[in-house]
Amino acid sequence: MAKVKVGIIGCGSIGTSAHIPSYMANPDCEILYFCDLIYEKAQSQVKKYGCGKAVTDYFEVLNDPEVDCVSVCTHTDNHTRVSIDAMRAGKHVLSEKPAARTYAEALEMQRVQHETGMTLNIGVVNRFRTTPNRVKEIIDAGELGNIYHVYVAFRAHRSIPGIGGDFTTKAVAGGGVLLDWGIHFFDEVMYCLGDPEPKTVTGNAYSVLGVDIPGYVFKSMHSRAPKYDGVYDVDDFVTGYIRTEKAPKVPGPSISFNGAWAQNIGIEEMYIDFIGDKAGIRLNYYGGYTMYSTMNRTLIEIKPDYDEENGFQNEINAFIDCVRTGKKLPSHIDTVIITAKLMQAIYDSSDTNREIVF
Ligand SMILES: NC(=O)c1ccc[n+]([C@@H]2O[C@H](COP(=O)([O-])OP(=O)(O)OC[C@H]3O[C@@H](n4cnc5c(N)ncnc54)[C@H](O)[C@@H]3O)[C@@H](O)[C@H]2O)c1
C-alpha cells in the first residue's frame, strides 16, 4: 500500500519534539514538506531527517496534489485559518490543541469539516495515552458506581510559560492557564466521562501575577525565555464550577476546578479526582492513577503498575490510520467542540460575572 504523504506546517517546539519524530517512526507515512515562516527552522528538519522539502508558504504544501494530510503545529492564532485552507484544498488535518482561540473559531472549523468531509482531528493527546484510557475503561465498566463529582487541579507555584511572548498574548494564544494548560485536564475529564454536555458554568479567570512582567519572580522560565517588553493579557489563575447532563437528560457529575500558572502558594497539584459512590479514582497528570474503594468492610487502595505508552506516537499512528480508513477518532472536531464550548463559557462567565446557562 502506498505511504500516506504528510506536510508539517509549523516547525517549532511541538512540531519538532512530537509530531515530526512520530511521523518519522511510522512506517506507513512519509513527510514531503517541512513548512515554517522561518526558513531555517524548516530547513533544519530536512537536514536532520534527510527527507522532504523546506518551504515558508503553507500554500505550497496545500497545492501539491501528492500531499494527503497536514499537521498544523503553528501557534493557536493560525489553527483556524490554516486548517480551513487545508480542508478546502482536500487535505486531512491534525491541528494542535486548543482547537482555536474562541468557540466561534472552533465552530467555523467544524462547519468547514462538515462541508468538505475532510478529517479534522485536534491534538488532544491525552485521549491516546494509557492512563486516561485505563481510567475510562474502569468508569465505563461502572466500577466507580454513580460519579457525582469531579475535582480538577492544575496548579503550579511559578510556571508562566515564556512571559511576554506568544503564550501570554491573548490575540495569539486565545487565553492563558485555562486554555493553554487546563484544556488538557478538561479534555481528559470529558473523555473519561463520555463527553457529557455542560448545562451551567460559573468561572472566574484572573490575570494577576504576570501583569507586571519585569516584577514577576520565578526560578526558571518554562518553555521559552521571558520578553520583558512583551504583552501579558491572559489569565494566570482560574476557578469555577460546572454542572453537566448525560444523555438522555439525567444529571451528570458536577465539576469543580482550580488552575494556576502562578500563585502565592508554594505547591504544585496536577490531578483529577473522579468521586463515585462505589469507588473513586485520582488520576495523576502524567503519573498513573490510584483507585480508592472498600472490600470486606476494609478500606483499600489500588495503585496499578504498568508502562505508559507514548501518547504522541499513538496519536500520529491513529491519524495516519484514519487518513487511510476514514475511521472517526475520539479527537475528531465533533467531540472536541464540547470542550471549546466549555472553555468559552468559563471565560464568558468570568467576563460577565454571572453563571452561563445552556
Ligand atoms: N499537545 C501538547 O501537549 C502541546 C504542547 C505544546 C504546544 N502545543 C500547542 O502547539 C501549538 C504550537 O506551540 P509551540 O510551542 O510549538 O509554538 P512555537 O512558537 O514553538 O512553534 C510554532 C511555529 O509555527 C511557525 N508558524 C507560525 N505561523 C506559521 C504559518 N502561517 N506558516 C508556517 N509556520 C508558521 C512559527 O514560526 C513557529 O516556528 C500551540 O497551539 C500550542 O498550544 C501543544
Q: Domain locations in the chain?
A: 4-123, 127-309
- CA-based angle 247:251:255, to the nearest 5? 110
Q: Is the pTM higher than 0.85?
A: yes
Ligand 1 centre to CA of 137 (Å) is: 32
Q: How far apart are CA 300 and CA 293, in angstroms?
A: 5
Spatial distance between the Cα atoms of 246 and 169, rounded to a whole number of angstroms: 36
Q: Give the ligand 1 atom nearest the CA of 223.
A: 15
Contact 19, 36 (CB under 8 A): no
Residue 123, beta-bridge partner list: 96
Atom of ligand 1 nearest to the CA of 184: 3
The whole-number pLDDT of residue 22 equals 98
* C-alpha cell, 334: 465533533
Query: Which residues, in sequence order, are bridge partners of residue 55?
Result: 35
Look up residue 183 and give its three cell numbers: 484544556
Class (C level, CATH) for 127-309: alpha beta
Measured CA angle at 83 (ends 82, 88), to 5 deg = 100
> How many angstroms separate the alpha carbon of residue 224 from the centre of ligand 1?
12
State the burial class of residue 20 (Cβ atoms within 10 Å of its Cβ: 0-12, 13-18, 19+).
buried
CATH superfamily of 4-123: NAD(P)-binding Rossmann-like Domain (3.40.50.720)
Residue 191: partners with Cβ closer than 8 Å, 6 or more residues away: 124, 126, 127, 132, 136, 330
| Helix locations, the chain, DSSP H | 13-14, 20-24, 39-49, 58-62, 79-88, 103-116, 130-140, 170-173, 183-193, 311-325, 333-352
CA-based Rg of the chain, rounded to a whole angstrom? 21
288 secondary structure, DSSP code: -
Which protein residues are within 6 Å of ligand 1, measured from CB? 9-15, 35-38, 41, 58, 73-76, 78, 96-97, 123, 125, 166, 180
Determine contact, residues 120/113, Cβ cutoff 8 Å: yes
Q: What is the DSSP letter of 18?
A: I
User: From residue 219, how far is each of 159, 222, 262 by CA, in Å?
Assistant: 9, 9, 12
How many angstroms is it from 75 CA to the middle of ligand 1?
4
Q: What is the Å distance from ligand 1's center to 358 Cα?
A: 32
Using an 8 Å Cβ cutoff, are 175 and 343 in contact? Answer: yes
Residue 223's pLDDT is 86
Per-residue pLDDT in tens (0 to 9) along the chain, 358 residues: 799 999 999 999 999 999 999 999 999 999 999 999 999 999 999 999 999 999 999 999 999 999 999 999 999 999 999 999 999 999 999 999 999 999 999 999 999 999 999 999 999 999 999 999 999 999 999 999 999 999 999 999 999 999 999 999 999 999 999 999 999 999 999 999 998 999 999 999 999 999 999 999 999 898 889 999 999 999 999 999 999 987 766 778 999 999 999 999 999 999 999 999 999 999 999 889 999 999 999 999 999 999 999 999 999 999 999 999 999 999 999 999 999 999 999 999 999 999 999 9
User: What is the structure's pLDDT at 248?
Assistant: 66
Q: Which atom of ligand 1 is nearest to the CA of 123?
A: 1
Phi/psi of residue 118, nearest 5 degrees: -75, 155
Looking at residue 251, its pLDDT comes to 77
Task: Quote the CA–CA distance of 227 and 58 in Å, as a whole number.
Answer: 28
CB distance 202 to 256 below 8 Å: no
Q: Are 244 and 253 in contact (CB under 8 A)?
A: yes
- Tell the residue nearest (CA) to atom 38 of ligand 1: 12
What CA–CA distance (Å, rounded) separates 123 from 94?
7
> Running DSSP on this structure, what letter comes out for residue 34?
E
